[in-house]
Amino acid sequence: MTDTRTGVPSKTKGPLPLYLDDVVVLRKPHPCGGDTWRIVRLGADIGLRCLTCGHRVLVARAAVERDIKRFASRGPLAPTD
């Protein structure tokens, strides 16, 4: 895996690496219709900002990992390899 990964490997075990400013597409769209979110806080709960309406939410990390469909783009802190 040398190029930027834009998909989530379905069979990979272990925690999904998440970084600040990653932009993710979630399976569950926000009520505003947007499904693209930027990661704005990391911790036991993940802070997500809806890129469509700007709303900010806190979601349990496990729920975020489960709901991520793919990465739209990776933040500057994410490793590129």
Residues of this chain that bind Zn ion (CB under 5 A)? 30, 32, 34, 50, 52-53, 55
Least distance in angstroms from the C-beta of 53 to Zn ion: 3
Least distance in angstroms from the C-beta of 31 to Zn ion: 7
CB atoms within 10 A of CB 43: 8
Least distance in angstroms from the C-beta of 81 to Zn ion: 32
Closest by CA to 32, choosing from 53, 11, 13, 62, is 53
- CB nearer to Zn ion: pick between 72 and 78: 72
- CB nearer to Zn ion: pick between 32 and 77: 32
Q: 1, exposed or middle or buried, with CB in 10 Å at 0-12, 13-18, 19+?
A: exposed
